[in-house]
Structure 1
Amino acid sequence: MPEFRVIYNRQRKWIFYLLSIYVLGWGFTSYKTIFSGLILGTCFSFLNLWMLVRKTERFDKAIAKGKKVASLGSLQRMATAAIAAIIALKYPQYFNIVFVVAGLMTSYFVIMIDYFYHAMKIHK
């Protein structure tokens, strides 16, 4: 399981890099709603990633002890995505809903890119 934590820390670093680029885009361009939508969506995406890691660690510990596990919290992660969408719909002058949804997918893109990058690195 320590390897799992290393993977999460690496992905967290890349999400923070993306967030810093989004903040710079928000600050220095005229596309405020686009970048604020990306920031909001990516923050909620990071929250979903963190919850998934926490639930997965609990799942691993429970399986190791031979206990039953209810779920990995899919409904909870969908609810946080819905909250981000509701915020964007409530304040369309600040957040672009399309880019909030794109930001919500950020952690999944980071996971896939991280996997392929390290798979290619290992096979070299």
Structure 2
Amino acid sequence: MPELHLMFSRQRRWMFFLLAIYVLGWGFTSYQTIFLGLVFGTSLSLFNLWLMVRKMKQFGDSVSQGKKVRSLGSFSRFATGALAVVVSMRFPEHLHLISVVIGLMTSYIVIMIDFFIHSLQIHK
């Protein structure tokens, strides 16, 4: 499990870097609804990433102890996505819906990019 926490640490660092860029975009451009949607969606995406890592750790602990295995929390992540869409549709003057959806997908994009970068560094 240590490699899971190392991966999460790297991915969390990338997510915070993207969030900082989005906040700067929100503060210094005229596309405030788009960048606020990206901030909102990416924040929830980071929460989903943390939730997924936590559930994977619990899953690994349960398997190693021979206990019954519960789900990996897909319903919680879907509910977070639904909440993001509902909030962005409720406040369209502040949040751009497409930006929120792109922000929700950010953690999966970061996971893929981190995997490719890390696998290239290992094979050198």
- For residues 54 and 86 of structure 1, the distance between their equivalents in structure 2, rounded to whole angstroms, comes to 25
Matched with 1:87 is 87
TM-score, normalized by length of structure 1? 0.99
Displacement of 1:70 in angstroms is 1.6
Displacement of 1:28 in angstroms is 0.2
Matched with 1:2 is 2
One-letter code aligned to 1:18: L
| 1:59-98 aligned within 5 A | 59-98=59-98
- The runs of at least 4 aligned residues of structure 1 exceeding 6 Å deviation read none
One-letter code aligned to 2:82: A
- For residues 3 and 70 of structure 1, the distance between their equivalents in structure 2, rounded to whole angstroms, comes to 22
TM-score, normalized by length of structure 2? 0.99
Gapped regions of structure 1 (runs ≥ 5): none
- For residues 19 and 79 of structure 1, the distance between their equivalents in structure 2, rounded to whole angstroms, comes to 22
Cα RMSD (Å): 0.5
One-letter code aligned to 1:47: F
Gapped regions of structure 2 (runs ≥ 5): none
- For residues 3 and 102 of structure 1, the distance between their equivalents in structure 2, rounded to whole angstroms, comes to 27
